[in-house]
Amino acid sequence: MSAPVVGPVAAARRLAAMAALAALVLGALLVQAAPMGPLPDGPVPDLAWCVLAFFVLRKPQAAPLGLVALLAILRDALLGGPLGAGALSVLLATEALRWRARELPPPRSVWGDWVWASLGYAGVLGLQWLLLGVSLGHPPALSALVPHLVATVLAIPLVAGVLRYGLRIGASPRQDDEARRLPRPFGRSAS
């Protein structure tokens, strides 16, 4: 099959969305990696996962597989996770989310997306734990992963709210379609 014809405006928008994804994931990684001062070590949500899950579910064209792979490897390197195992688990989970976005077209329930993103992150942690155990590494106790999972599950809708309503990223496709149908001044077409 040939690739669909894309105009320069649509291509520029897609590149801008991809750059926004990369910048937001990098920012999330830097926030996670920053020392928190004298605060005790508590569960820190995986903000990079929250951003990736939001983009894959709500703006999948801005999160191509290659970019997600690069960001997942960067995530492993910056956060000190199992290099490769973490990236593989993130890739598999984001592809499961991409499948959901493709199979259940918009408008989708925000709650359903939250559940899928949460299950995806549970899969990320579970696969990393399993790969560490199989590769003769020392996986952390499962009880140590639960607070991290809970913190991330609670952060998913907060991050999605900031991205959607604060930064106006990933408007629902129904709103995008309505905006495209609005009459354009001076007869210009929407592109």
pLDDT band with cut points at 50, 70 and 90 for residue 119: very high
Q: How far apart are CA 29 and CA 58, in angstroms?
A: 21
- pLDDT tens-place string over residues 6-61: 688 888 888 999 999 999 999 999 998 887 666 667 788 999 999 999 999 999 99
Hey, what amino acid is at 182? L
What's the confidence (pLDDT) of residue 4? 60
Determine the average pLDDT of the residues in 69-97: 92
Torsion of CA 100, 98, 8, 1, to 10 degrees: -90
Mean of all residue pLDDT scores within the chain: 85
What's the confidence (pLDDT) of residue 39? 62
- pLDDT tens-place string over residues 159-180: 999 999 998 887 655 555 444 4
Q: Are 46 and 92 in contact (CB under 8 A)?
A: no
Q: How far apart are CA 164 and CA 172, in angstroms?
A: 9
What's the confidence (pLDDT) of residue 3? 57
